[in-house]
Chain A
Amino acid sequence: MTTREAIVARGVPLPVPTRDNAPFWEGTRRGELLLQRCAACGRFRHYPRPTCPACLAREHRWERASGRGTVWTWTIVRGPTLPAFEAKVPYNVVDVLLDEGVHFVSEVLDCPPEAIVAGMPVEAVFVPASEAITLVKFRRRAPRGG
């Protein structure tokens, strides 16, 4: 097998749950977007970490987030990318500012590249990628309600 063939055979790289983030991935399998929330000051955080960046408290809960947010920034991948993603070029990658105040990197499904604008309202959808991993993707939504 050539190096190139070996790369192609690897497919889409998927996360492996760790002790720090396992509740997140258990949540997505149930169709829930869970975020760590500081038990002391109430601040949400993502990526998962042992302490609150605002008050350093270690105590936290995993709380179900609204799944709603707006596009903070994005790119349209057109050029070289991992072989596993070449068939879907051009595709978007977005940074969503969730209503809970944290950023989440993902993709807006069913959205042509030219439709993406900063501040575009989106909501989470759950897309199984393997037995263990369900990814959080987003869809466009109406600004209020919907």
Chain B
Amino acid sequence: MVTRSPKLALYAAFAGASFLAALALGRPELAALGAPFALVLVVGLALPPPPQVTASLRPTRQLAVEGEEIDAELVVSAISPAHDLQLALLLPDGIRALGRTGSLLLHVEPGRDRTLPLRLDCAHWGAHRVGTLLLRSRDLAGLRVLDSRITGNTVVRVYPRPQQLQSLVAPAETQPFAGNRVARTKGDGIEFAGIRPYLPGDRARRINWRASAARQTLYVNQQHPERNSDVIIFLDTFAEARRQDSSTLDLAVRAAASLADHYLATRDRVGLVGFGGVVRWLAPSSGATQLYRIVDALLETEIVFSFAWKGVDVLPARSLTPQALVIALSPLLDERSVAALLDLRRRGFDLVVVDISPLAFSAQPRDPDTLAAMRLWQLWREALRFGYERLGVAVAEWDGQRPLAEVIEEVRAFRRFARYSSA
């Protein structure tokens, strides 16, 4: 919508005041002072109104990994000459324009697209809608202004950069599908499991001649088959602790993406459960497509505030497959997620909890009361972790400062020596 600029009111007031003063004082020199302002008004308003301008931001690609830079083009066009076009690019929090930080003042010829190269820094993971622009065009005299806003509809998906993991938490049980994990059961495979007496139907190549000679009867070798496992990444989205542009959910999403990447690389099937105000799930599957499905689902993960009590009953059976390893990424802030994890363990799931510590996001206590409250909270969290450990659940705290690999090693160390109580 075309609006009048402050200049119009100022010039009109000045011209009117000078003409009145000239009449009142009988001094034509004062009219000569105001006449140029009146002339600008008359000529400026007789000129065409501000031109209608269209603009769009076109990134060269819409997929990127955190920290990458992508090229984009800003294309501006006008139906009549835009002498003084002011353009501001509104970018979402996770995307930054390199070089051009402020707004632009452009001259656009009619019928000729003006293309400006831009470089965008994908600073933070997320599905970012880019291309929202604020445009302000003026007529030649600057008396009328046309403001418009163009809402961008291009989504740039920035995937979290996966962390390097030296090892993974091995699931307690395997699935019947072929994979890279040595199963506990015996069958056709590579890893030696033991020997047993020969039975009719056993292949001659499996006979262990040394054992057979020692025992004076035929023995055959047994192997562990190579199978895959199901890993469910359980993301707690009930609550988060946030400070500036980082939060526990942010860390959890990064950890989830890293774990999914590494487990899928070892031919395991990986599923995702987002447990919070909105419950989302992806049934376990394997392959690169599943990785993209998981990461896309993670990008849309957000905290949805809800009072509704939810248990694991709301999850469909196919999202939590039997004998799956469940890796929960939770700040353990919400009672519902704490209870759901205990429920999962009591139902016999092989559970690991990565406690995304909210302590790193809390303010430093300054007075003794706050300090005491903080210590009580820490004690409560320790008691909660101990409760999980009593059920045979490995719990490791992650504050985002140390590598995720360290946390995984902690979990592995616990599971190596843990004695599972009857769940």
Partners in one complex: no
Binding site for B on A (CB under 8 A): none
